[in-house]
């Protein structure tokens, strides 16, 4: 008989509410009371948010018109063994390169969920959060060549976040991953709390019909050997 014992679960998600950081121009989340026990006999919230609100995953359709929608994807893209890449110490708009990934490259196989730990989640809720580090396009290609189809980070955007002074270069990692039917996880937090080997990662999305992405409750699970 197969048995699995969970030792610990690390929550990698940001809370969703009025204070949730959003990508500039995205819908602002709002949670308003629709029903109350006193008035209606039960509590119920009216929830308004975007498909990319909070900790979320991008489906290929987010950047490719012919790409798969979130409810069409194989759920194995959202669960599997995780490898954490130490990319801490980067400054604003620092680049995560293959040099950061190489020390753990021998642990990366097809189906591995690669989590880029930049530590940028410490800036969540401040203007600095929009100056996030991002993944180098060549490093992204090399991960994809290893069979990786799910990449996440603890920041707003896997690519450089453009603004008036930084036009960006066209979201190359988003396109590379979408072209191969992969997914991106953004706005993770707490990757530094994964202090155990071989975490099992789950980022299962809400099943939004024909959507470009969806919020997730991201977790890393420590399993007994």
48 strand-pairing partners: 30
**Is 197 in a helix, a strand, or coil?**
coil
Q: Express each pLDDT in 13-56 by its tens digit.
A: 999 999 999 999 999 999 999 999 999 999 999 999 999 999 99
137 strand-pairing partners: none
pLDDT, the chain, mean:
96
56 strand-pairing partners: 186, 215
Position 135 confidence tier, pLDDT thresholds 50, 70, 90: very high
Give me the pLDDT at residue 167, please.
Answer: 85
Mean pLDDT throughout 173-183? 98
Do 29 and 20 touch, CB atoms closer than 8 A? yes
Which residue is listed with tokens 């600095």? Answer: 128
Give me the pLDDT at residue 161, please.
Answer: 94
């Amino acid at each position: 008989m197969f048995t699995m014992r969970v030792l610990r679960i690390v929550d990698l998600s940001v809370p969703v509410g009025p204070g949730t950081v959003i990508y500039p121009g995205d819908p602002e989340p709002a949670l308003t009371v629709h029903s109350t026990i006193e008035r209606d006999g039960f509590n119920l919230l009216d929830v308004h948010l975007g498909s990319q609100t909070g900790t979320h995953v991008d489906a290929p359709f987010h950047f490719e018109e012919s790409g798969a929608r979130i409810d069409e994807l194989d759920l194995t893209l959202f669960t599997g063994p995780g490898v954490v890449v130490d990319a801490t110490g980067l400054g604003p708009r620092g680049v995560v390169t293959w040099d950061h990934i190489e020390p753990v490259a021998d642990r990366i196989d097809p189906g591995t969920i690669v989590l880029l730990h930049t530590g940028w989640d410490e800036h969540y809720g401040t203007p600095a959060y929009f100056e996030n580090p991002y993944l180098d396009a060549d490093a992204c290609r090399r991960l994809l060549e290893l069979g990786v189809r799910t990449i996440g980070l603890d920041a707003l955007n896997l690519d450089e976040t453009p603004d008036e002074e930084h036009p960006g270069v066209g979201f190359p990692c988003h396109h590379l991953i979408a072209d191969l039917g992969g997914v991106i996880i953004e706005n993770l937090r707490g990757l530094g709390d994964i202090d155990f080997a071989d975490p099992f990662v789950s980022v299962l999305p809400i099943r939004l019909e024909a959507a470009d992405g969806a919020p997730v409750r991201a977790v890393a699970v420590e399993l007994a050997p």
